[in-house]
A and B are shown apart, each in its own frame.
Chain A
């Protein structure tokens, strides 16, 4: 009778029925993460296409029109309007109606044919840095290419002197969903599971049923494990759903083993649920549990490398990332999903996640007092 997990079966029985009968909790565990996943997945798309470009063509020749076409053909730009004066250009840009403007001066064709440098001006709205950078690079590439072609014709060579053949591995199209979506899964899983487990014990405290459990021979380990297990099942089902969305909605190819993904999710969710339980041993009511969970979730959004690469962070924030389970999980997911890595190759991440889980679980069980305050 005196097993360390006594009462586990009873708590498991009650929790499973409780979870299944509580459509509100199930809904709030499942629905927001799905919405967040889809929203994040689309919103974080960094691939910039079809930026609006206005053209102020003072030259109006075949050559100038060809230049405009070259800009449009990159796919980065889309000609949305024509300006008739520099003032016009400035007004349109200031109003945010266009990301970039291409100004072709009246002597463009003449200078080109005379073998002199023909000048064109590209104005870029720098208020959002990522699209601005993309616009800058594209416009440079377009003009550089045209210059190279012209030089080749004049020199009589048919080949460029140096040719780079870059090959991008794992994400050849450099699609940003491939980078972001595995990270989104890490964050979204955390939001759902941490809240759920943080609430569960606090709710018993609020309803007064905790007192009833305390007078019974239920052991702390039995209680904690019984509370955790149903949410673990929900977490894994949710992860499966998120993997499906990642693969079939965001078209992220899965290079590694799906089993390894679930194994990684299992140890990660265990760590998250234990963290939630630790919160619930501390919080006196659901409000406090919410705030404490939020305080634990926020850093992982910023410092886990989910959006911002950790390598570019100031060292202090980079270090903070080491104390967040999500950091290890996201690294692991990207490795498995994108690079087809095995768990063995990332054993450190697996071990760290297991350590997080075990330590947090033990802390929450030991912190849980079998007496009232």
Chain B
């Protein structure tokens, strides 16, 4: 032992494998984020629908998939669905037959359930008067949604979305229990080969940290750009406030004035 808990030589040697693990983690983040978001929109509309049965159905979805621990959900999809013979012989077995497919399904359902509430919160925060003003201008409901409600809902919901994405990324670590070699699984296997618990696990933690913070930085820039209308010194006489000018601002992150 050299006094450090980290074996630098081992850390260096492990880098390529950890990078491979990070790639898997990144894919297991990106795909469910996209699929979950796509799924969240129709479920959110159903949840906010005036038709009671539809709203209840959507609420049941949200309650179930938000309530079920991700690990249990993953076990159910991976081990449980394989028990259904019809599914084993059906065309969807390509998806449910692979651990990767199962992980994507479980993660997407979990993310969708959370995103329904994030979206709904953002949409409910849009001031009613602004929607009325759009209606009074004769803008159609569809256009009001696309051009007024959604742009504002994104601004109101951005912080909640960022939190969900960050905790989601860390949550993907559980896929190692269904034999997927993501970042955590790679670190774990190095530990099992070397009996050094610190080096691989701390390296993996550093990778997660970097990954999460790059995402956070991205959200920060996005938020500042979206909220450029609140930036204090947007110089109106300089013409259209440029993206650059807005990005230079360090304050006012994430604020929206209704």
Task: Please determine whether chains A and B interact with each other in the same assembly.
Answer: no
Residues of A near any B CB (own CB < 8 A):
none
State the B residues within 8 Å of A (CB): none
